[in-house]
A and B are shown apart, each in its own frame.
Chain A
């Protein structure tokens, strides 16, 4: 298992956001945390990233317990829901930031930024500022920025929520292909079943702070293990997944 959550509990002001959460994700997988709003999926992602601390339980990345490691030492890249691009920095500076704070040599940073701009097909747009970009371009910059320091694990919080419904589908395919190409273990949060089925190869269903089921889209759709999953999942989205692959 590359990422493992063991008996994780977390409360916010008396609200149980995580209730004995446990699951594991293999290296190279693209996993979706899927559940209704308030089911605790973002909390799980933030705890893996080190942005929130669990009250009890263990978080393991690559076999190492990371509970006491700061997020910056966990080898992760994080894409925020609204991308959280640094609005007073250019696209190139946004991507370079993580390398600059690690004091990498300038030439190496420049080369890496060029490489990533090419990867996201935004060559020549490095001098733009975030407010000069479209929603889709912003997402791509956020993606490149998260990948810049070569993380081993990519975490994405509702990566498509801020995007126009029309281009969402196109970006979904783009992101999935891109993650496959880079070959990075990834976990993303979504409340959209279609999105989860179409993009992920592992789906984790959450409800009321608990993990209801973990499995492939096929398993989730045709072998629901709990009443909630059976009711929550609509098999028509599985068709979407089949069509997409």
Chain B
């Protein structure tokens, strides 16, 4: 009985907390308050302008500064098209792999109990805390000629480092926490009751996933996929180390931009950058649609 009373009391405290927030959010009455508001708005707008708007304007104007013909020439250049294809291929591959494993890992860690859960969850987060350059180096030391698996791979004529598989591997590594990180909290909050109920009625694991778990995570999953896609397309560090910058072979769009820029071909560099900007805008729109659908 006393327990119940305590619970009621703590709810009252929470209620007061919300009320006090609402009080803060009421239109400020004092003049100084208004001053603070406009000051903060000003700082935010200035920050966004310098950090985001200005660079975007620079990209677009520089890309077009030698005229439309120069722009299309740079964009439809053979190497650019190849780099775009490779970027899209690596992105699709990485997103596909990470979606499957992200769903597996999130279901495993949220619905099953076993020793070492915490360790596994921490391991999945490693790409967030490791510099992508180091990730690239790790792959070279693992799969390269001097690496641990070098002899084995050489024997069977499998090329990973300085080849497309390496680019894909690096992209997968850098982006693999995204889907898991989005799904895990949602699945965890859902609890196991509905799955247990379905299992008691004799549903197999796949039916349970298809009819109970999946409808619950649909939009979250899509959101994770969008974030993963955005990150995969922009990946530079790890891919830069492992790809070897072979033009027309292992160059992705971000790497291609760097090469063009280093060759003082500024217009082309910005033109190619504008493709990435365009893709980013598309992803941003999709992201907002998904968020809106998620409610």
Contacts and interface: CB of A to CB of B under 8 A. Distances in A.
Interface of A: 49-51, 70-73, 76, 78, 80-82, 84-89, 97-98, 101-102, 145, 149
A123 to B, nearest CB: 23
B194 interface: yes
Contact of B202 (A78, A82, A84, A98): A98
Nearest to B204: A101
B40 interface: no
A85 B211 CA distance: 12
Given A51-B200, A101-B203, A102-B201, 20 more contacts: A70-B199, A71-B199, A72-B199, A72-B201, A73-B202, A76-B200, A78-B200, A84-B193, A84-B196, A86-B194, A86-B197, A86-B198, A87-B194, A88-B212, A89-B211, A98-B201, A101-B201, A102-B202, A145-B197, A149-B201
B19 interface: no
A70 B207 CA distance: 17
Nearest to A78: B200
Q: Is the interface of B mostly helix, strand, loop or mixed?
A: helix
19 contacts: A50-B200, A51-B196, A70-B199, A71-B199, A72-B203, A73-B202, A76-B200, A78-B200, A80-B197, A85-B194, A86-B211, A86-B212, A87-B216, A97-B203, A97-B211, A101-B207, A145-B197, A149-B201, A149-B202
B202 A88 contact: no
Nearest to A102: B202
A49 B196 CA distance: 10
Contacts of A102: 201-202
B35 interface: no
B215 interface: yes
Interface in B141-190: none
Contacts of A51: 196, 200
B281 to A, nearest CB: 33
Contacts of B204: 101
A19 to B, nearest CB: 22
Nearest to A157: B193
A84 B201 contact: no
Contacts of B194: 84-87
A88 B201 contact: no
Contacts of A71: 199-200
A49 B201 CA distance: 11
Contacts of A72: 199-203
A88 B199 contact: no
B98 to A, nearest CB: 25
Interface residues of B, number: 16
Contacts of A82: 193
B203 to A, nearest CB: 4
Contacts of A73: 202
B200 A97 contact: no
Contacts of B200: 49-51, 71-72, 76, 78
**Which 6 residue pairs of A and B lie closest in terms of their CB atoms, listed nearest first?**
A84-B193, A98-B201, A72-B202, A88-B215, A101-B203, A84-B197
B118 to A, nearest CB: 14
Contacts of A76: 200
Interface in B205-228: 207, 211-212, 215-216
B5 to A, nearest CB: 14
B201 A97 contact: yes
B196 A80 contact: yes
A26 B12 CA distance: 47
A210 to B, nearest CB: 23
Contacts of B215: 88
Nearest to A81: B193
A78 B200 CA distance: 8
Interface string B235-253: 0000000000000000000
A145 to B, nearest CB: 8
B193 A80 contact: yes
Contacts of B199: 70-72
A101 B216 contact: no
A87 B197 CA distance: 12
Contacts of A101: 198, 201-204, 207
Contacts of B216: 87-88
A88 B218 CA distance: 11
Interface string B48-89: 000000000000000000000000000000000000000000
Nearest to A80: B193
Contacts of A89: 211
